[in-house]
């Protein structure tokens, strides 16, 4: 008999889980979308969520149909043939892993798991997570590959979603799958194959987990390097953008990374710390990764220092200076400020006594240091002592920068407005 993966329960309806649920529905699966946050469920029902146009159209089409149901009840997992766990894995203020949401989600899945299910962990975490939080607790219940109560098929298949990038939709990206057994891999691959460009099977969940950590650590190291080269180029009086463009003409051995105000989002500032945390516990050094992550964390304060230096050079004290931050989303084209380097940038400027405001059409309200800042819809309505450009959204008109005063371009991508400074 041919195995069927559905219905599929998707735990966590954030920037990974919701597109995953919609893609599975479009591939013909009946999906149970599960999230413990009632506000998120309400936002999904209303369509008030940040999605690419294609996924937004999918959500509208599926909202009234029977193939996509929403619930906050963890017991709904028991009715599923497959389960995909897509909960966030952030870090805390001390850059230590905060796996509470992941542990709670996995414990809930284990509690409600039934024989015959396929369970796929898509969240990024430390090596051994799938075994520690799923395989071993399931075995304690008598479930798992060849368990005495019944088989449950467990695999790790880390997400590969690039929010805001319409050129690389989820279905155009390959997925890595590592199952606890070959049959676990086969079933997880069959579940994900309709929503991926192809499936690459590896020998274990641990291999899949480390693969994801390598992918994001590679990016972190190279972003840190690009920022460092921007400083070097500035010292030498050279244009780092021209340098990177020139190096990118080499058809082998080079991949262009661009400097910026800092690494934001749910992956680059967070995921490598899960690896470092695990390695430190085992007294295993990773000096290159450690240095890169330290450099990334130091980037927003460096931008704030550069802003204060520009003000000082113009005879404007930081205390009371009118500073506008243009763009606070963590990357262009997304309505998401979580882990955005703009948060630390603004915090440092506030601590210096500056009068800080921001403009970002995708972020109406921004919580910083216990206060709520609100988007300035008309940034040209008042004079600014300095504008710091942090994020530029696709199609955004920044013509007002020409008449606003000095500009610190932390993106390195503006077309030289008057008075432009670089970090």
Sign, CA torsion 381/384/388/389: positive
Between strands 365-368 and 371-374, the pairing is antiparallel
- How many Å apart are CA 192 and CA 20, to the nearest integer? 9
267 a catalytic residue:
yes
Q: In sequence order, what are the residues at sequence separation of 6 or more whose Cβ sits closer than 8 angstroms to the Cβ of residue 397?
A: none
25, 106, 184, 267: which one is catalytic? 267
Nearest in space to 268 (alpha carbons), one of 162, 132, 344, 167? 162
Buried-state track 238-250, b at ≥16 Cβ within 10 A, e below 16? eebeeebeeeeee
Q: Is residue 275 a contact partner of residue 206, using CB atoms and an 8 Å limit?
A: no
Nearest in space to 412 (alpha carbons), one of 219, 243, 264? 243
| Catalytic center residues | 267
């Amino acid at each position: 008999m041919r195995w069927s993966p559905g219905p599929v329960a998707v735990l966590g309806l954030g920037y990974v889980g919701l597109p995953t649920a919609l893609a599975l529905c479009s591939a013909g699966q009946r999906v149970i979308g599960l999230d413990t946050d009632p506000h998120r469920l309400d936002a999904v029902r209303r369509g008030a969520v940040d999605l690419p146009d294609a996924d937004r159209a999918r959500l509208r089409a599926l909202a009234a149909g029977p193939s996509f149901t929403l619930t906050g009840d963890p017991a709904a997992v028991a009715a599923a043939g497959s389960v995909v766990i897509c909960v966030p894995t952030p870090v805390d203020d001390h850059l230590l892993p905060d796996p509470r949401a992941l542990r709670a989600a996995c414990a809930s899945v284990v509690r409600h798991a039934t024989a015959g299910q396929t369970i796929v962990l898509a969240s990024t975490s430390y090596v051994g997570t799938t075994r520690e939080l799923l395989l071993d607790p399931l075995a304690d219940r008598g479930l798992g590959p060849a368990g005495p109560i019944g088989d449950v098929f467990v695999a790790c298949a880390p997400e590969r979603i690039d929010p805001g990038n319409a050129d690389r939709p989820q279905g155009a990206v390959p997925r890595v799958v590592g199952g606890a057994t070959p049959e676990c891999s086969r079933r997880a691959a069959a579940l994900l194959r309709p929503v991926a460009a192809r499936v690459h099977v590896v020998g274990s969940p641990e291999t899949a987990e480390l693969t994801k950590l390598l992918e994001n650590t590679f990016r972190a190291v190279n972003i840190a390097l690009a920022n460092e080269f921007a400083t070097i180029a500035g010292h030498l009086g050279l244009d780092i953008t021209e340098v990177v463009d020139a190096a990118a003409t080499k058809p082998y051995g080079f991949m262009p990374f661009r400097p910026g105000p800092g690494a934001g989002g749910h992956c680059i500032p967070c995921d490598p710390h899960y690896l470092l945390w695990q390695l430190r516990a085992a007294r295993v050094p990773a000096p290159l990764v450690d240095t890169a992550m330290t450099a990334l964390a130091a980037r927003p304060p460096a931008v704030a220092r550069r802003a204060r230096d520009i003000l000082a050079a113009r005879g404007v004290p930081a205390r009371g200076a009118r500073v506008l931050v243009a763009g606070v989303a963590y990357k262009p084209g997304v309505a998401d400020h979580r882990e955005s380097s703009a948060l630390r940038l603004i915090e440092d400027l506030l601590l210096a006594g500056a009068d800080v405001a921001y403009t970002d059409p995708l972020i109406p309200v921004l919580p910083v240091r216990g206060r709520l800042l609100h988007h300035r819809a008309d940034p040209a309505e008042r004079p600014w002592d300095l504008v710091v450009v942090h994020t530029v959204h696709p199609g955004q008109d920044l013509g007002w920068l020409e008449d606003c005063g000095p500009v610190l371009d932390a993106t390195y991508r503006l077309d030289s407005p008057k008075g432009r400074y670089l970090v």
